[in-house]
Structure 1
Amino acid sequence: MYSPDRVLFPLRRTGPKGSGQFERISWDAALDEIAERFTSIAAEYGPEAIMPCSYLGTEGILNGLNVGDPFFAKLGATIAERTYCDSGSCTAYTMTIGDTAGVDPESLVHSKFILVWACNVMSTNLHLWPYIAEARKRGATVVVVDPVATRTARAADWHIAIRPGTDGALALAMMHVIINENLTDEDYIAKYTVGYEELAERVQSYSPEWAAQETGVPAEDIRILARQYAQSQPAVIRVGVAVERHAGGGQTMRSLACLPALVGAWRRPGGGILQLPLWAFPVNWAAFMHPEMLTPGTRVVNQFLLGEALTGEMQLDPPLKALMVYNSNPVVVCPDQDKLVSGLLRDDLFTVVSEQFVTDTAQYADIVLPATTQLEQKDIMFSWGHLFVTYNH
């Protein structure tokens, strides 16, 4: 917060793009220039020639993901689709078990079997660990599925070192064992699920021997894992975002989300699956995003492909002539970095970056606007790890 490198005043580029050479200007001068350029670009090319680029650099409901959406919607700018993180997993999760929070993290104290899957809890979800530790004191078994021997994996009762990207194969083989060894909760399946017969038929080809070849996990270990999971109720699965970070990640999440229903884990506190507690928070996102301001038919560009959009490879009509970046550092987080930098170097692209520092992306800006940190703004925070709303003062 007190770094001498903080951007405290608006800056205008004075040297070549990418040089990081800027001069201090007033807020009035900066806003006038942005408004004039956006207005002239919209008049000449249409408002879709302007595109925002933002993500979760500043988290929170007020200053986070959706800030700026109403302005750019009203402007008619190109819609920036945000799918960097967890979109595949979230879609699959809600398709499988509905728009629900899943397990209350605090209820893990009641779990008998805790399966931590693709989540380094002790490093990235530390506030959950005390509940896991309490469950272990009460006799729970903790198993970690992770390619890497993380802090959490080393602290677990059993670390299953899976081959990266093969989580879906392990989940399917577990279902194969649970179904074929009659470890299912037939009453729960009959009352609360749809599609069991089709699933039971589908998993017949996914034996532990098949999965062992895919995952590198011995077939007998897969059988032991499936049996322990099914027979130690209530059992819970804590899924991390890493589970979707590969082709087919969404389908992997769907497979994992089926497991608790097969064994009736949802019946008791401490049983089920926990992805993002975010779903429990009663946030009226539309009140922040104002989708009613969008012009029907406005084009959508996925920020994942920003390099292609800026270099012309995407062949947009009209081409992008202005970019406003906030809450993100795309030169660092976007794929095809060379392509993205090439696009940002275009002399005919007017770029505005709102930032706390002159980041890799801000180096290529025409105008840099100073941004606040979490310590300098009020906000209301939802959570990915607990069910408390936090006031950020």
Structure 2
Amino acid sequence: MEEALDLVASKLHELRETYPTTALLHCNHAGNVGLLKKVENRFFSAYGGVTAAIGSLCVGAGSEGQRYDFGKSLSHEISDVVNSKTIIIWGRNPMDTGLHLVPFLKEAKRRGAYIIVIDPLETNTVKLADMHISPLPGTDGALALTMANILIERGLIDKEFIDKYVVGFDEFRSYVKDFTLEKGAKTSGVPIEDIETLVDKYGNSKPSSIIIGFGIQRYTNGGYTIRTIDALGAITGNIGIGGGGVNYNNSRMNDYIDHELLSGETLRKHHRVFSRPKMAEFIETAEDPKVEIIFTTRANPLTQFMDSNRMTRAFEKVGFKVTIDMFMTDTASLSDVVLPCRHFLEEDNIICPPSNHNYINYCNKVIEPNPWIPSELLIWNELAKRLKLENFPIENSEWWIEKALKPMTDLTGITIDDIKSGPIIVPGATPVAWYDKNFQTPSGKYELYSNLAKSQGFEPLPVYKSIDMEPNEEYPFYLLTPHTKDSLNSQHFVLVDEKQLPIVYIHSETGSKMDIRNGSVAEVFTDTGSLDCVVEYNDSIRRDILMIYQGWWIQRLGGVNRLISERYSDMGNNAAYYECICNIRYKA
């Protein structure tokens, strides 16, 4: 380990003496979201400032859309859903990827709630539902605007809420008039009678809750799509009331963390950014300086970023690559140095609220780590010593946690010891988002019409824009690549047999029509790449969709992102993974 750290420090020192420090590209993401993991940003700022990632592979488009609507993303406590009379689960699959929500959905149903799942796929969550609606991929915005138009026409809106708390209703009402039932049905592929039921259940049984998944904003129209769904909550007055809400994400902790301590932003002498969804393109085209070193933390870009083939070619051309990881991932296997690190169960950390609750948790070490495997904090400490970084404190985890949460302690009196004693609710957080109607927009109201969006080059209203890629004769299928219940992204595919092919799920009628047998090997291909898969018939799959779970490692014969080109959303620099069309042919 000492030899590896010496080599990495030597390469970092050499780069700093030869180039601007932005010749180092730091690639990170959400492999671990513990508070201490953010210390890496302080290290690279103290080093001089590097090329850093902006944008998102997960939530960026929707978060940006909600920023224009509400001021930021806030969600109800998941337990509040038991107070809902109608629950729309829109593009989310909690039965597989959010089990914490399931008991509350079951309780809501026991109390009489009507549950609707809107998803092109018939997921396991549909088993909980009273109704399943399967729109064409990427058309959710058209469906939402059609609902809005009919709700307005039939008077199923909350005029008092609109008058007091909403900006831009008249402009919005004028825009949605064009979204008739006939147009909405034709665009979304949802039958008129199903849209009628949606409107009836959502508009006539207040409070109604909408729970949004991340998948529906992984298109080039993703941000606008979230805004159209948000609008349903606003015009019906289902915002700020128990059992209501448009629940997507949470961003409650910002006021209680010392961001400068963790980021070291003011220490940077140089700074350059790249968009995560276009990392390969950036590496290929960067000048003044070119990318000389890639340092990867909490990420597996060769597997998880779009266009894996291009990413691999770009990655291989860079002179020196370092990866911190627990496993020899696809990214680690092409790195010059791999620094092993500890599992989250082998170290203490603070977990701040994610998308679905308001609790700060102390993550206690429960397993003694192998003594020769360091924590990531220890890696940064050792590299900082070798590089003699004056502005990087060589301290332990307790020091960093205490200092990072000092704003919270100063404002509320809550200490680390308090958090260690049990989960702490974020100060000011309530079970019901926006209960005080104190929206954090420029107007202080919910903004159907956003001047901020307009000033930043976007449509001020939540509009529908069709996606860029739709099936055609050459590529007649949508390709959807959702998360599996068996892994967090690519983390657990280390357990897959090295000779086992990934599975492509296809409707039996589609397979029979194309002479592709159940259990055979087929090649799925796009204009970006191809992937061999084992065919599995599944008649819950739409006939115009192929489905392959994301995360399967390339070195284990997977790598579905080699099929997906580098495309990003309308706002938020979010990866448009689901905007992909493909074909399939029998192989063996």
2:108 aligns with 135
Q: Give the aligned partner of residue 40 of structure 1.
A: 14
What is residue 582 of structure 2 aligned with on the other side? Answer: none
In the TM superposition, what whole-angstrom CA distance separates every residue of 1:50-82 from its partner, at most 9, and x where no partner exists? 11111111232222xx34111212322112224
Query: Which of 128, 136, 139 does residue 166 from structure 1 map onto?
Result: 139
% identical aligned pairs: 31
- The structure with the largest helix share of the pair is 1
Among 278, 287, 295, the alignment partner of 1:324 is 295
Which residue identity does 1:34 align to in structure 2?
A: V
Match of 1:288 in 2: 262
Kept in 1, the 8 Å contact 2:76–2:357? The answer is: no
Matched ranges for 1:308-347 at <5 A: 308-310=281-283, 312=284, 314-346=285-317
The letter of the residue matching 1:338 is: N
Q: 1:52 aligns with which of 26, 42, 48?
A: 26
- Secondary structure of the residue aligned to 2:274 is strand
Aligned residue pairs: how many?
361
CA offsets, 1:159-218, max 9 Å, x none? Answer: 011111111111000001011111111011000110100000010111121111111101
Q: 1:69 aligns with which of 13, 32, 41?
A: 41
- Report the 3-state secondary structure (helix = DSSP H, G, I; strand = E; otherwise coil) of the residue aligned with 1:62: helix
Q: C-alpha offsets along residues 33-55 of structure 1, whole Å, 9 cap, x if unaligned?
A: 21221121122221111111111
Structure 2 CA distance for partners of 1:295 and 1:194, relative to 1, 3 Å: farther
1:251 to 1:342, Cα distance in 2 relative to 1, 3 A:
same
Equivalent in the alignment of 1:175: 148
State the distance in 2 between where 1:197 and 1:247 align: 27
Report the TM-score when normalising by structure 2: 0.59
Q: 2:192 & 2:258 partners in 1: Cα distance?
A: 45
1:20 maps to which residue?
Answer: none
After TM superposition, list the pairs within 5 Å mapping 1:211-230 onto structure 2.
211-230=184-203
For residue 306 of structure 2, what is the amino acid of its counterpart? Answer: P
Report the equivalent of 2:430: none
Task: For 1:281 and 1:50, locate their aligned partners in 2 and report how far apart those are by CA, in whole Å.
Answer: 28
Deviation at 1:333, TM superposition (A): 0.8
Deviation, 1:138, is 1.4
Letter of the structure 1 residue corresponding to residue 354 of structure 2? S
Quote the Cα distance in structure 2 between the aligned partners of 1:279 and 1:241. Answer: 19
CA RMSD of aligned residues (A): 1.7
Structure 1 position 233, deviation (Å):
0.5
Per the alignment, in what secondary structure is the counterpart of residue 359 of structure 2? coil
Q: In the TM superposition, what is the alpha-carbon distance from 1:278 to its structure 2 partner?
A: 4.2
Moved more, 73-82 or 139-148: 73-82
Using the alignment, how far apart are the partners of 1:43 and 1:243 within structure 2?
A: 46
- Relative distance call for 1:113 and 1:53 in structure 2 (3 A) is same
Tell me, in whole angstroms, the C-alpha distance in 1 between the residues paired with 2:197 and 2:258.
43
User: Which residue of the partner structure matches residue 167 of structure 2?
Assistant: 194
Q: Partner of 2:363 in structure 1? A: 392
Shift of 1:100: 5.0
Q: Secondary structure at the match of 1:279?
A: coil
Answering whether residue 229 of structure 2 is matched by residue 259 of structure 1, we say no
Change (3 A) 1:77 1:215: same
Q: Could you tell me which of 307, 332, 337 is aligned with 1:362?
A: 332
Query: 1: CA distance between counterparts of 2:96 and 2:277?
Result: 27
Code of the residue aligned with 1:257 in structure 2: it is D
Q: Mark the runs of 5 or more structure 2 residues left unpaired by the alignment.
A: 365-588
CA deviation after TM superposition for structure 1 residue 295, in Å: 4.0
Aligned 8 A contact 1:281 1:387 in 2: no
* SS of equivalent to 2:287: coil
| Between 46-55 and 96-105, the greater mean CA deviation after superposition | 96-105
Given that 2:143 and 2:184 are in contact with CA atoms closer than 8 Å, whether structure 1 keeps it comes out as: yes
Does the 8 A contact of 1:353 with 1:362 survive in 2? yes
Please list, as runs of the form range in 1=range in 2, the aligned pairs for 1:1-16 lying within 5 A after superposition: none
TM-score, normalization by structure 1: 0.88
Pick 1 or 2: higher relative contact order, CA cutoff 8 A, min separation 6: 1
Shift of 1:281: 7.3
Cα offset, 1:371, TM superposition: 1.0
Partner SS for 2:252: helix
| Structure 1 residues not aligned, in runs of 5+ | 1-25
8 Å contact kept, 1:121–1:128:
yes
* 2:79 aligned residue (95, 106, 113): 106
Closer/same/farther in 2, CA of residues 292 and 82 from structure 1, 3 Å limit: same
Asked whether the 8 Å contact 1:47–1:77 carries over to 2, the reply is: yes
Q: Contact conserved, 1:173 with 1:203, CA < 8 A, in 2?
A: yes
- Take 2:176 and 2:304, find their aligned partners in 1: how far apart are those partners? 37
Q: Does 1:154 align with 2:127?
A: yes
Structure-2 change in CA distance of 1:386 and 1:267 (3 Å): closer
SS of corresponding position for 2:36: coil
Q: Matched residue of 1:328: which SS?
A: coil
How far apart in 1 are the matches of 2:359 and 2:255? 11
Matched to 1:142, the amino acid is I
Cα distance in structure 2, aligned partners of 1:244 and 1:171: 14
Cα offset, 1:350, TM superposition: 0.9
Q: CA deviation at 1:285?
A: 5.9
Amino acid corresponding to residue 305 of structure 1 in structure 2: K
Distance (Å, rounded) in 2 between the aligned partners of 1:324 and 1:280:
28
| 8 Å CA contact retained: 1:331, 1:360 | yes
Check the 8 A contact 2:321/2:337 in 1, yes or no. Answer: yes
Name the CA distance, whole Å, in 2 between partners of 1:227 and 1:356. Answer: 51
Give distance in 1, aligned partners of 2:235 and 2:356.
25
Aligned to 2:508: none
Instruction: Give, in angstroms, the shift of residue 294 of structure 1.
Output: 3.4
Maintained 8 Å contact 1:101/1:280:
no
